[in-house]
Amino acid sequence: MNTQLQCAGFTLDLSTPKVMGVLNVTPDSFSDGGRFHQREQAIAHAFALVEEGAAVLDIGGESTRPNAPPVPLDEELSRVIPVIEALVARQLPVPISIDTYKPAVMRAALYAGASMVNDVRGMQAPEAIQAVADTEAAVCIMHMQGMPQTMQLNPHYEDVVLEVSAFLTQQRDACVALGIAQQRILLDPGFGFGKTRQHNIALAQALPQFLKLGCPLLVGLSRKSVLGQMTGNDVDARLHASVAAAVISAMKGAHLLRVHDVKATVEALKVVTALA
Ligand code: YH5
Q: 104-131: per-residue pLDDT in tens?
A: 999 999 999 999 999 999 999 989 999 9
Q: Residue 65's pLDDT is what?
A: 72
Domain of 182? 4-275
Q: pLDDT category, 34, cuts 50, 70, 90? A: confident
Ranges of H-type helices in the chain:
35-51, 73-89, 103-112, 126-133, 160-177, 197-205, 207-211, 225-231, 239-251, 262-275
Q: pLDDT category, 176, cuts 50, 70, 90? A: very high
Q: Residue 69's pLDDT is what?
A: 82
Q: Is the pLDDT of residue 160 over 90?
A: yes
Q: What is the DSSP letter of 78?
A: H
Q: Is the pLDDT of residue 64 over 80?
A: no
Q: Is the pLDDT of residue 148 over 90?
A: no
Q: Would you say the CB of residue 64 lies under 6 angstroms from ligand 1? A: yes
**Ligand 1 test: best mutation among 5, 117, 120, 242, most atoms within 8 Å of CB?**
120
- In DSSP terms, which residues pair with 58 in a beta bridge? 22, 97
Q: Domain count for the chain, please give it.
A: 1
Q: Is the pLDDT of residue 179 over 90?
A: yes
Q: Is the pLDDT of residue 66 over 90?
A: no
Q: Active site residue: 39, 195, 224, 238, which one?
A: 224
Q: In whole angstroms, what is the distance from residue 270 CA to residue 187 CA?
A: 23
Q: Is the pLDDT of residue 198 over 70?
A: yes
Q: Is the pLDDT of residue 209 over 70?
A: yes
pTM over 0.85: yes
What is the domain-level CATH number for residue 114? 3.20.20.20
CA 221 to ligand 1 center in whole angstroms: 7
Q: What is the arithmetic mean of pLDDT over 137-147?
A: 96
Q: What is the arithmetic mean of pLDDT over 160-166?
A: 98
Give 220-260 pLDDT, tens digit per residue: 999 999 999 999 999 999 999 999 999 999 999 999 999 99
Q: Would you say the CB of residue 65 lies under 6 angstroms from ligand 1? A: yes
Q: Is the pLDDT of residue 191 over 70?
A: yes
Q: Residue 217's pLDDT is what?
A: 98
Q: Is the pLDDT of residue 32 over 70?
A: no
Of residues 150 and 162, more confidence is placed in 162
Q: Is the pLDDT of residue 30 over 60?
A: no
Q: In whole angstroms, what is the distance from residue 172 CA to residue 174 CA?
A: 5
For residue 224, indicate whether it is catalytic.
Answer: yes
Q: Is the pLDDT of residue 29 over 70?
A: no
Report CA 111 to chain centroid distance, whole Å.
Answer: 20
Q: In whole angstroms, what is the distance from residue 222 CA to residue 266 CA?
A: 13
